[in-house]
Structure 1
Amino acid sequence: MAKTSPAQFAREVRREIAKVTWPTRKETVISTWMVFLMVIVASLFFLAVDQIIAFAVRLVFGIGG
């Protein structure tokens, strides 16, 4: 494998970064809110599942009346 000088590496990195399509501010804000929403939905789902399993365990073993 050919060795690349640090200067050549930096030039290649700059060239690749120029190819990147960066998101707009609006796209970033929307994506951030969607992540928050999905975290809340997932949290509520796992809370519900945890409560159902805990209830079933208490029912089966008669623990914590």
Structure 2
Amino acid sequence: MARTNPIQFVQQVRAEVSKVSWPTRREVVLTTVMVFIMATLTAIFFATVDILIREGLQFVLNFFG
């Protein structure tokens, strides 16, 4: 593989970065809010499942114990 000198490397990096489609502030805020909402819903779901499993196991253990 051919080696690139540092100046060419920086030029290539700048060329690639200029091709990037950067999100707007509104898109970043909306995406961040959606991530927090989904994380909260996921946490609530798994907490509920955990409580149901714990209660079910306690019922089974108390029933047979």
TM over 0.5: yes
Q: What is the CA deviation profile of residues 19-42 of structure 1, one whole-angstrom value per residue up to 9, with x for unaligned ones?
A: 000000110110010001001100
What secondary structure is seen at the aligned counterpart in 2 of 1:13? helix
What secondary structure is seen at the aligned counterpart in 2 of 1:38? helix
Q: Which runs of 4+ in 1 moved over 6 A?
A: none
Cα RMSD between the aligned structures? 0.6
What secondary structure is seen at the aligned counterpart in 1 of 2:48? helix
Unpaired segments ≥5 residues, structure 1: none
> What TM-score do the two structures reach when normalised by structure 1?
0.91
- Structure with greater helix share of residues: 2
C-alpha distance in 2, partners of 1:45/1:39? Answer: 10
Unpaired segments ≥5 residues, structure 2: none
C-alpha distance in 1, partners of 2:17/2:8? Answer: 14
Whose RCO is larger (CA < 8 A, sep 6+)? 1
Q: In the comparison of the two structures, how many residue pairs are matched?
A: 62
% identity of equivalent residues: 45
Q: What is the CA deviation profile of residues 5-25 of structure 1, one whole-angstrom value per residue up to 9, with x for unaligned ones?
A: 111111000000000000001
> What TM-score do the two structures reach when normalised by structure 2?
0.91
Q: In the alignment, which residue of structure 1 is the partner of 2:41?
A: 41
What secondary structure is seen at the aligned counterpart in 1 of 2:32? helix
